[in-house]
């Protein structure tokens, strides 16, 4: 059985409201019918409630043949009238408040809107309606974007101090660990921090994640791992970092064409990964080792750089005594995804290797 969304859990606990009846866009459009038609039209255009990009005061004024100042006046008067009638939005507002309360009272704007619409096929008009309700209704408080936080919304009694304490604590945890933390374990990693003694009763996976999404210094990558925003594992700066993350998650060597496909499928950003670019970049980065024809592995997995002949040479250096052909093939196969004949061809380099009686090989003097 699939896990319920935050919205579904909230709605299932509210007797007066069902998931099917939760309709922010419909509620806003019904509210607009209660005011002058021109004012309602201006609000629809200014707030994208018709699903189209928001229009400027000048654009709307031009359509109506009046000045931008006149449109601003009508907009202001209409908003005041709508606020006086905002109680018609209370059923929707109560659901949004419940969602906020379930995740610590404050949520990053896009996260909140996504959460409110995750149980339905939502378009731009639906997103605009949720944002309009947040702007209009007295139940909500806006926290503007700054150097530390993304724009966020909270209940009218919400404050950012608790969120700041938890974010600072998580920064300390990440810096101490030096590596990303899986989404499922965010609460566990905070459990030994003093902040947990203070706020632990109200912290769970959803509330911690909601708080972390407010921060600009912490981010979650497409694999559900949280880390510092400037870490390459979290915010890869180019195709090499993306390839490193993909290979780390895969755990096995991949052909550069498959690496490119995995990068695109992971959804780091909108940039398409071109296979030849991946090949050209990885072959220059010492984090990667070419272990077969177009196949790359991570050096940290124990793969040694160089040609098959280079690998043979290192094996013989470690052994410090002649070694059979079969043993050499076995050892090279641990390092390279190549055919046996490729290894035997490498052994024919008489400048590097000497075949002794009995079929054993040693390094040339």
Q: What is the pLDDT of residues 332-342, one digit of tens each?
A: 999 999 999 99
Instruction: Give the three-state DSSP class for 292.
Output: strand
The two structure tokens encoding residue 177: 């660990």
Mean of the pLDDT values across residues 261-285?
A: 94
CA gyration radius, the chain: 30
Q: Are 211 and 166 in contact (CB under 8 A)?
A: yes
Mean of the pLDDT values across residues 108-136?
A: 90
pTM of the model: 0.77
CA 112 – CA 142 distance, rounded (Å): 12
Instruction: Give the three-state DSSP class for 154.
Output: strand
208: region left, alpha or beta (phi > 0 left; psi from -120 to 50 alpha): alpha
* Phi and psi, residue 38, nearest 5°: -70, -40
Q: Are 291 and 281 in contact (CB under 8 A)?
A: no
- Calculated CA dihedral for residues 213, 215, 221, 224, nearest 10 degrees: -40
13 compared with 39, residue with greater pLDDT: 39
Other CB atoms within a 10 A radius of the CB of residue 83 amount to 12
Mean of the pLDDT values across residues 108-113?
A: 96
Q: Are 281 and 274 in contact (CB under 8 A)?
A: no
Q: What's the mean pLDDT when you consider all of the chain?
A: 91
Other CB atoms within a 10 A radius of the CB of residue 279 amount to 17
**Residue 235, pLDDT above cutoff 60:** yes
Q: What is the pLDDT of residue 15?
A: 46
> Over the stretch 206-225, which tens digit does the pLDDT of each residue have?
888 899 999 999 999 989 89
> Over the stretch 6-28, which tens digit does the pLDDT of each residue have?
666 666 655 444 555 678 999 99
224: region left, alpha or beta (phi > 0 left; psi from -120 to 50 alpha): left
21 compared with 270, residue with greater pLDDT: 270
204 compared with 268, residue with greater pLDDT: 268
Alpha helices (runs of H) in the chain, residue ranges in sequence order: 6-12, 24-32, 37-46, 57-64, 68-84, 90-102, 109-117, 124-136, 161-177, 186-190, 194-199, 205-214, 239-250, 256-266, 275-282, 308-319, 325-333, 340-347
**Residue 307, pLDDT above cutoff 60:** yes
Contacts with 309 (C-beta within 8 Å, 6 or more apart), sequence order: 346, 349, 352
Percent above pLDDT 90 for the chain: 75
**Residue 58, pLDDT above cutoff 90:** yes
Q: What is the pLDDT of residue 19?
A: 56
């Amino acid at each position: 059985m699939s896990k319920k969304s935050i919205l579904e859990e909230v709605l299932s606990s509210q007797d007066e409201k069902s998931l099917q009846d939760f309709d922010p866009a419909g509620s806003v459009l019904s509210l607009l019918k209660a005011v002058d038609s021109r004012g309602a039209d201006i609000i629809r255009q200014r707030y994208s409630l018709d699903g189209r990009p928001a229009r400027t005061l000048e654009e709307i004024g031009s359509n109506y043949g009046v000045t931008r100042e006149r449109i601003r006046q009508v907009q202001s008067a209409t908003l005041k009238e709508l606020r006086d009638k905002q109680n018609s939005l209370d059923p929707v507002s109560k659901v949004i408040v419940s969602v906020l309360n379930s995740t610590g009272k404050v949520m990053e704007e896009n996260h909140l809107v996504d959460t409110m619409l995750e149980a339905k096929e939502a378009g731009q008009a639906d997103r605009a309606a949720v944002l309009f309700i947040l702007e209009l209704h007295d139940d909500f408080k806006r926290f503007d974007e700054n150097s530390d936080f993304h724009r966020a919304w909270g209940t009218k009694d919400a404050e950012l101090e608790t969120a700041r304490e938890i974010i600072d604590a998580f920064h300390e945890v990440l810096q101490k660990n030096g590596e990303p933390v899986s989404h499922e374990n965010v609460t566990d990693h905070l459990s030994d921090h003093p902040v947990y003694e203070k706020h632990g009763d109200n912290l769970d996976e959803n509330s911690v994640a909601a708080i972390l999404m407010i921060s600009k210094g912490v981010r979650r990558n497409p694999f559900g791992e949280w880390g510092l925003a400037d870490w390459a594992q979290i915010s890869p700066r180019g195709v090499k970092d993306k390839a490193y993350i993909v290979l780390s998650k895969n755990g096995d060597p991949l052909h550069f064409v498959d690496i490119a496909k995995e990068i695109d499928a992971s959804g780091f950003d909108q940039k398409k990964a071109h296979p030849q670019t991946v090949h050209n970049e990885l072959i220059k980065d010492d984090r990667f080792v070419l272990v077969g024809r177009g196949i790359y592995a991570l050096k940290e997995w124990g793969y040694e750089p160089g040609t098959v002949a280079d690998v043979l040479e290192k094996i013989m250096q470690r052994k410090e005594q002649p070694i059979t052909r079969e043993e050499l093939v076995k050892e090279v196969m641990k390092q390279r995804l190549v055919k046996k004949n490729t290894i035997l061809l490498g052994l024919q380099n008489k400048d590097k290797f000497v075949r002794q009686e009995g079929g054993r090989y040693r390094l040339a003097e």
